[in-house]
Amino acid sequence: MADGTTAADIVAQLEALEREAQDKLAEFTSDSDVNEWRTAYLGRSGKVTQLLRGLGGLPKEERPRVGQLANTVKGRLAEALEARQAAIQRDQLAGALQSEALDVTLPGEPVRVGQLHPTSLVLNEILGVFERLGFQVVEGPEVEWDRYNFAMLNIPADHPARDMWDTFYVEAEPTKSFGSMLLRTHTSPVQVRVMEDTPPPVRVVAPGRVYRNEATDASHEAIFYQVEGLAVDERTSMADLKGVLTAFAHDLFGEKTRVRFNCSYFPFVEPGAEVSISCHVCDGGGCRVCKHTGWLEILGCGMVHPSVLEAVNYDPARYSGFAFGMGVERIAMLKYGIDDIRYFYSNDVRFLQQFR
Ligand code: FA5
């Protein structure tokens, strides 16, 4: 050979190269190290290839043997590379499994479960009492016609009683028979809708949201809930009204609760009354909650006015009925001892979570 390199030299170099390559490979722990190694030893201009270039200088008969050995070395290095890559992947997986290990026996994060709003809780309770007394639950629209909210309830246009229920009007063309469109101020229009659609006898309760153009304070909201009640039949009397509302008060506030009926005025009933219950805080003795009267007002009621019966084509000579309307939040305030109605809709979860 021109530079004096013999086949034995090349074989020795090949063996040294293999040892060096195997030693380095064994130390690698990452894919990027391995890739560099592949280029350095097995790549096109890698060390093994360079060594093989020297083959050309060997005598012809020695070249196949040395060439074969070189290929064997190349093959072994390729195998070692594969084995190392597999080992690296195994190690990485084992590491990940350990660091991301999940203890399935640990208690989980509690899921936050919602709950019913105090208004819904009390509303359900109120409806439950009346359902047991044989009343059916019905609903009416919140956006209502003047005809149902006022006119058919014996409150004609310009009647001063309208001042009691100032509301928000909807921009819609008033019609001759239905008048303007507005947000209902009470659930009483549902009385009219039910009687228009159903021949007597009727016995219904109508829950729902009502609206008033009203400055809010501790006992007044501009949007709140009412439950309306209506019972019409032959010979329905004030005694039935008193019996039903007394049973209701006893069911909701306890048997010991005393119930008081005071004269009051609503254009759609005659006679009209306001119902109060004995204060559950002081048991009627007088305290801050009942403003030292011993009584708490819960609703308005009365015997359905004959003009209302006539307006829905019920014969007032044959049929009579009673009606009542209560504020749901006010009842919830009494039941739970809440002293400001504005807590209900201020979205304070700390307040809402107290009621189940
Ligand atoms: C009425 O709304 C009549 N429709 C009730 C009625 C029905 C009388 C059937 C006769 C026959 P009043 O405006 O008083 O009446 O309201 C009834 C109840 O709603 C009140 O007793 C009170 O509990 C509640 N309420 C009234 N205004 C508010 C308000 N701004 N915020 C919260 N609750 C209210």
CA of 352 to the centre of ligand 1 (A): 24
Residue 192 within a domain: yes
User: Residue for token digits 């949201």?
Assistant: 209
Instruction: Select from 188, 192, 184 the least CA-distant residue to 209.
Output: 184
User: Of the given ranges (7-21, 184-198, 218-232), which has the lowest mean pLDDT?
Assistant: 7-21
Domain that holds residue 30: 7-99
Q: Which of 299, 328, 334 to mutate to test the pocket of ligand 1 (most atoms within 8 A of CB)?
A: 299
**Contact at 8 Å (CB) between 309 and 194?**
no
Do the Cβ atoms of 205 and 324 come closer than 8 Å?
no
Q: Are residues 150 and 73 in the same domain?
A: no
Query: 165 in a domain, yes or no?
Result: yes
In a domain, 105, yes or no: no
Q: Give the angle 251-255-260 at the CA atoms, nearest 5°.
A: 90
Taking CA atoms only, the protein residue closest to ligand 1 atom 2 is 186
Q: Let me know whether 183 and 315 are in one domain.
A: yes
Q: Looking at ligand 1, which residue's alpha carbon is closest to its atom 5?
A: 325
What CATH number has the domain bearing residue 144? Answer: 3.30.930.10
pLDDT tens per residue, range 207-249: 999 999 989 988 899 999 999 999 999 999 999 999 999 999 9
CA dist., res. 149 & res. 100, Å (int): 65
Cα angle value 170/301/143 (rounded, 5°):
15
255-281: pLDDT as tens digits: 999 999 999 999 999 999 999 999 877
User: 74 and 130 share a domain?
Assistant: no
* pLDDT (0 to 100) of residue 52: 78
Are residues 70 and 52 in contact, defined by beta-carbon separation less than 8 angstroms? yes
Cα 18 to ligand 1 centre (Å)? 97
Catalytic residue among 275, 323, 328, 332: 323
Helix (H, G, I), strand (E, B) or coil at 307: helix
Q: Which residue has the tokens 């490979």?
A: 25
How would residue 61 be classed by pLDDT, with cut points 50, 70 and 90?
confident
Q: What is the pLDDT of residue 1?
A: 47
Question: Residues 27-35: what's their mean pLDDT?
Answer: 83
Check pLDDT > 80 for residue 2: no
Together in a domain, 49 and 123: no
Euclidean distance between CA atoms 79 and 85, whole angstroms: 10
pLDDT tier, 193 (very low <50, low <70, confident <90, very high otherwise): very high
The pTM of this model reads: 0.73
Greatest extent of the chain over all pairs of C-alpha atoms, in Å: 138
Pair 18, 154 in one domain: no
From the list 164, 219, 154, the residue with the least C-alpha distance to 186 is 164
Of residues 142 and 105, which shows the higher confidence score?
142
Q: Tell me whether residue 210 is in a domain.
A: yes
| 8 A C-beta contact, residue 209 and residue 224 | yes
- Best-predicted range by mean pLDDT among 66-70, 94-98, 262-266? 262-266
Contact 252, 262 (CB under 8 A): no
Active site residue 280: no
The pLDDT of residue 272: 98
Q: Which of 67, 99, 131 is the last residue of a domain?
A: 99
What is the rounded end-to-end Cα distance, in angstroms, of the chain? Answer: 99
CA pair distance 25, 84, nearest whole angstrom = 7
At residue 101, does pLDDT exceed 90? Answer: no
The one catalytic residue among 37, 70, 138, 165: 165
What is the torsional sign of CA 237, 313, 275, 135? positive
Number of folded domains in the chain? 2
DSSP character at residue 220: B
**What does the pLDDT look like over 128-154, one tens digit per residue?**
999 999 999 999 999 999 999 999 999
The band of 290, judged by pLDDT with boundaries at 50, 70 and 90, is confident
Q: Kindly name the residue from 66, 122, 269, 304 that is annotated as catalytic.
A: 269
* Residue 304 CA, closest ligand 1 atom number: 11
Ligand 1, pocket residues at CB < 6 Å = 186, 188, 212, 214, 220-221, 224, 226, 228, 266, 269, 272, 297, 299-302, 323-327, 329-330, 341
Do 66 and 185 sit in the same domain of this protein?
Answer: no
Is residue 75, in this structure, part of any structural domain at all?
yes
Instruction: Give the residue carrying structure tokens 């549902």.
Output: 190
Among residues 194, 226, 232, 330, the one annotated as catalytic is 226
Judge if 184 and 246 occupy the same domain: yes
Lowest pLDDT segment from 55-59, 143-147, 172-176, 270-274 = 55-59
Query: Ligand 1: which of 224, 241, 334 to mutate, judged by most atoms within 8 Å of the beta carbon?
Result: 224
226 is catalytic: yes
- Least confident residue range of 57-66, 72-81, 86-95: 57-66
For every residue of 229-261, DSSP letters joined together read EEEEEET--HHHHHHHHHHHHHHHH-TT--EEE
In whole angstroms, what is the distance from residue 268 CA to residue 190 CA?
Answer: 13
Q: Is 165 a catalytic residue?
A: yes
Residues 324, 212 within the same domain:
yes
**Residues 206 and 138 grouped into a single domain:** yes
pLDDT score at 3: 66
For residue 295, pLDDT beyond 80: yes
Name which residue sits closest to atom 26 of ligand 1, judged by CA. 327
Q: Which of 40, 64, 99 is the last residue of a domain?
A: 99
Cα distance between residue 233 and residue 204, in whole Å = 12
Atom 19, ligand 1: which residue's CA is nearest? Answer: 327
Q: Measured between alpha carbons, how far is 65 from 156 in angstroms, rounded to an integer?
A: 120
- Co-location of 199 and 125 in the same domain: yes
Closest CA to 161 of 288, 290, 53, 267: 267
CA gap 328, 305 in Å, rounded: 24
Tell me whether residue 104 is in a domain.
no
- Say yes or no: 94 and 236 in one domain: no
156's tokens = 């004609």
- Is residue 16 part of the annotated active site? The answer reads no
| The predicted structure's pLDDT at residue 202 | 98
Of 186, 193, 203, 330, catalytic: 186
Higher pLDDT: 302 or 297? It is: 302
Say whether both 139 and 204 belong to one domain: yes
Ligand 1: nearest atom to the Cα of 297: 21
Phi-psi region of 128 (alpha: psi -120 to 50; beta: other; left: phi over 0): alpha
Asked, for residue 62, whether it belongs to a domain, the answer is yes
